[in-house]
Amino acid sequence: MHSSRDSARSSAAASIRRVAETRVRPRPRQAEPQADAGSAKAEGREYVTVIRPASRWPKLDFPELWHYRELLAIFIWRDLKVRYKQTVIGAGWAIFQPVITAVVYTLVFGRFAKFPSGHLPYPLFAFAGVLAMQYFTSAMTVSSTSLVANVGLITKVYFPRLLVPLGAVLVPLVDFVLALVILVGMMAWYSTWPSASAVFAPLFIALAFITAFGIGLILSALNVRYRDVPHILPVFMQVLPFLSGVPFALDGVPLKWQWLLALNPMTAVISGWRWTMLGGPQPVVGQVALGVGVALLLLIGGLAFFRSSEPRFADTI
């Protein structure tokens, strides 16, 4: 009696495990009778759907994500419309926030504390660093609460759950592009123009994206079960700019501390972004490589943790 109950429970548990869908072309078959051929032609099916248990290895299922690309676009467009809804200046907040932060940095750290900024004017130096950091903090904050914010979809509809934190990390890129116009205007005001190294600027923003996505996967999965994440994150965000070299030039720091700060991938992002856009000091290749390695570890670890926690999202959230 007990064995039958245990087997029923195990079969029921197996039936609700996470699965993945793949659409593949069917193998060609021999010709069938005329009636069957006519019915198959009427159906007009070119693909069959294969449902199999999803792998828990830390990987991105690009074919499945591409299959749901329209849903990702809907998530991004929805978040963009809601982001500044019922605000007075609307998308102007994307410009107003980094400008105010840069003004405070200029007054406190540039004028009074005399933090080093190399050969660059401190307002331009500060705004460039704040702009990159603002994208990272916004992407990480929104992605950490993305699953809980979409509880209605998580519990009722099947789709790749990775789309939720992925869309949350992509949305702040729109704010970044809007504020980039102000940076270009400041560069023209101070007659500071990038050199040929500007072609590497998107790579450093991509590094910030990878870092935010990896951390967002971990925090979003943790936030499903432990709602302490939104309370802890602001404390971390307050000290992060100082650990990333936003208010000061990294070459003014002793070498041993530079390598310690290089464990933070955003240190490579800030210094590399200033180098490519403003012609600042070139970052040390070894320190950038260390930051890239940490970012890749965060991405792989985030994918592994997210995949292992995904089957319990609907029950825990």
- What is d(CA 169, CA 293) in angstroms, rounded to the nearest whole number? 20
Task: Count each helix (H run) and each strand (E run) in the chain, helices first.
Answer: 16, 2
C-alpha pair distances (Å), 49 with each of 23, 36, 37, 46 = 5, 21, 20, 10
pLDDT at 210: 96
pLDDT at 57: 63
Q: Return the DSSP state at 228.
A: T
Q: Where are any strands of DSSP class E within the chain?
A: 19-24, 48-53
- Per-residue pLDDT of the chain in tens (317 residues, 90 and over written 9): 444 455 444 444 443 445 455 555 555 555 444 544 444 444 445 666 666 665 656 667 788 888 889 999 999 999 888 887 777 777 788 889 999 999 999 999 998 988 988 889 999 999 999 999 999 999 999 999 999 988 888 888 888 889 999 999 999 999 999 999 999 999 999 999 888 889 999 999 999 999 999 999 999 999 998 888 888 898 899 999 999 999 999 888 888 899 999 999 999 999 999 999 999 889 999 999 999 999 999 999 999 999 888 888 877 87
What's the distance, Cα to Cα, between the start and end of the chain in Å?
34
> Where do the domains of the chain lie?
57-316
Answering whether pTM is above 0.75, one says yes
Which of 148, 151, 108, 141 shows the shortest CA–CA distance to 126?
A: 108
pLDDT at 9: 46
Q: Strand, coil or helix: what is 94?
A: helix
Which of 97, 183, 184 shows the shortest CA–CA distance to 138?
A: 97
pLDDT at 150: 87
